[in-house]
Amino acid sequence: MTLRIATLLLSFLATALSAQERDVVITGGWLFTATGNDRIRNPGIVIRAGKFLRVGGDLSVALPNAERVALADSETVIPGMFDLHAHYAVELFGAGRKDETVAYPSLFVANGVTSTFPAGEMDPTVMRELRIRIENGGEPGPRLLNSGPYFGTARPGWDRDITAQQIYDDVDHWAELGVKGFKAKGIAPDELRALIERAHFHGLTVTGHLDSGNRNSVNPRDAILMGIDRIEHFMGGDAFTADKSAYASYERMTFDTPEFKRIAELYKRAHTNFDATLSAYGYYGKRDPDVFTYFVDEKKFLTPYMRSVIDARQPRQVNQQFENIYWTKRKEIKAFYDAGGGDLITLGTDHPSWGEFFTPFSVHRELLSLSRSGIPNAAVLRIATINGARAMGFGDRLGSIEVGKWADLVVVRGNPLADIRRTRQPRLVVKAGRVYDPDALMTSVEGKIGPASAADTAAWAPTPRGAPRPRS
Ligand SMILES: [Zn+2]
């Protein structure tokens, strides 16, 4: 190589290194580390090379060119949040879901969500490419813990005659492509057993949207006995009888029962996580007016054309069963918390937006639903942070503010322990030591969701059921 190129390369490397090496120092305000229940005076935080170097102690170790952030006395630092059922999918035309990769990544970060598990991707290839662009610093976005395609009939073209070997091969394929966990939906017992076995072989987790056990489905109880890592939506157990669908049993279920006691004990014994996804059911139901409010004008993220289409739409139909389940779920999650399951609960939003109440903002709706269920706010914040990190196998690197962990944090305006709604509209967000301005992120994606004109709508038709068939 010529001297000139070598010199250029060296100076490029030096610049990259110094950019990366620029420390961040955060002083003032309050700190909720998620290692306990308390908010303390922020003892000072030094971030170096994407990790927490100091939390308290000698802050003078910070390099002279450090980026310094002074917090107001009203502000609180919390760890970056996790959404473990973070569909990027929108369903703008009622014709199927499509992964939204333009605005959602920025909107997640702007809402304080620094890690997402999509829990079943419509187009795993597009989502993998998005992860790579985010990781390379090409665009802002959370840590995208890819899930790959669904395993089960939720994947278009899923073959009910699939063999265990075909499932192994398919898991190997997606593991090689960097997914961080798998999601089963509409899966049969033998298929789930093979999925769990092979995912664990790769050190990856499995979660499932399951059923009662009717029609060759799997009751969460039986999945836990197979070794599944997490359960979505409902806890399952003997109260979900196999003679009817899970939702039919769930609608008016009560939890002061021996059946509930048994299933709660099983979760604790097996250390299985439960992703409650409360607000998803509220979204399909009557939209509890306490939870479904706008704190940002979310429709401004639609293109003007898309907004006009949505504003002209007839009012949607309320799903009364989901409305009933929403209120039932609030009792269930509190009962599980009271039964000692607090460390096992995770946060998941799980709803494809029809053009309102976008998923990244719904993280705050889920936090409020959990809080309104009667779970103390400190526990709600741990659910959104350290519990999510542990559930995905990242508990040693993420989820709390501790020396040596990756530096993901959110500065919120106020005390979320007193009012969980203070997590909304954070002042700033740090991911891997990089500081983001939520307002700037939001501005950058205004008018971006949906087609720009009627002529463009074909591009926003649902992905042609993009998930490839299981490999054979
Ligand atoms: Zn889902």
Give me 200's structure tokens. Answer: 């664990």
How far, in Å, from the CA of 84 to the mean position of ligand 1? 10
| Ligand 1 centroid to residue 86 C-alpha, Å | 8
Say if residue 447 is exposed, middle or buried (CB neighbours under 10 Å; 0-12, 13-18, 19+).
middle
pLDDT at position 197 is 98
Q: How far is the CA of 56 from the centre of ligand 1 (A)?
A: 40
CA of 242 to the centre of ligand 1 (A): 22
Strands 30-31 and 24-27: unpaired
Tokens of 323: 């409305």
- Nearest-angstrom CA–CA distance, 63 and 22: 7
How far does residue 147's CA lie from ligand 1's centre (Å)?
A: 11
Phi, psi of 112 (to 5 degrees): 90, 10
Q: Which residues contact 129 (CB under 8 A, 6 or more apart)?
A: none
pLDDT in tens, the chain (472 residues): 455 555 555 554 444 444 557 999 999 999 999 999 999 999 999 999 999 999 999 999 999 999 999 999 999 999 999 999 999 989 888 778 889 999 999 999 999 999 999 999 989 999 999 999 999 998 999 999 999 999 999 998 899 999 999 999 999 999 999 999 999 999 999 999 999 999 999 999 999 999 999 999 999 999 999 999 999 999 999 999 999 999 999 999 999 999 999 999 999 999 999 999 999 999 999 999 999 999 999 999 999 999 999 999 888 889 999 999 999 999 999 999 999 999 999 999 998 788 999 999 999 999 999 999 999 999 999 999 999 999 999 999 999 999 999 999 999 999 999 999 999 999 999 999 999 999 999 999 999 999 999 988 887 776 554 444 454 3
> Encoding tokens for residue 184?
């089963």
Among the listed residues 110, 219, 137, 232, the one whose alpha carbon sits nearest the alpha carbon of residue 183: 232
Q: How far is the CA of 184 from the centre of ligand 1 (A)?
A: 10
Ligand 1 center to 351 CA (angstroms): 7
Residue partners of 165: CB distance under 8 A and separation at least 6: none
Question: Residue 98: what pLDDT?
Answer: 87
How many C-alpha atoms does 153 have within 13 Å on its Cβ side?
Answer: 12
Query: Separation of 182 CA from ligand 1 center, angstroms?
Result: 12
Beta strand 40-41 pairing with 51-55: unpaired
What is the Å distance from ligand 1's center to 354 Cα?
A: 15
Burial class (CB in 10 A: 0-12, 13-18, 19+), 40: exposed
* Rounded distance from Cα 273 to ligand 1 centre (Å): 16
| Cα 395 to averaged position of ligand 1 atoms, centre (Å) | 23
Distance 156 CA to ligand 1 centre (A): 15
> Is residue 147 a contact partner of residue 206, using CB atoms and an 8 Å limit?
no
Cα 85 to middle of ligand 1, angstroms: 6
DSSP assignment letter at 162 = -
CA of 286 to the centre of ligand 1 (A): 19
| Helix (H) or strand (E) run with residue 434 in it | strand 434-436
CA of 155 to the centre of ligand 1 (A): 12
Distance 103 CA to ligand 1 centre (A): 19
Query: What's the CA-to-centroid distance between 163 and ligand 1, angstroms?
Result: 25
What distance in angstroms lies between residue 376's CA and the mean position of ligand 1's atoms?
Answer: 26
C-alpha 185 – ligand 1 centre gap (Å) = 9
State in Å: Cα 209 to ligand 1 middle: 7
Distance 96 CA to ligand 1 centre (A): 13
CA of 183 to the centre of ligand 1 (A): 9
Separation of 119 CA from ligand 1 center, angstroms? 6
| Cα of 64 from ligand 1 centre, angstroms | 47
304 token code pair: 């003007």
H or E segment and range at residue 265: helix 258-270
Distance between Cα 189 and ligand 1 center (Å): 19
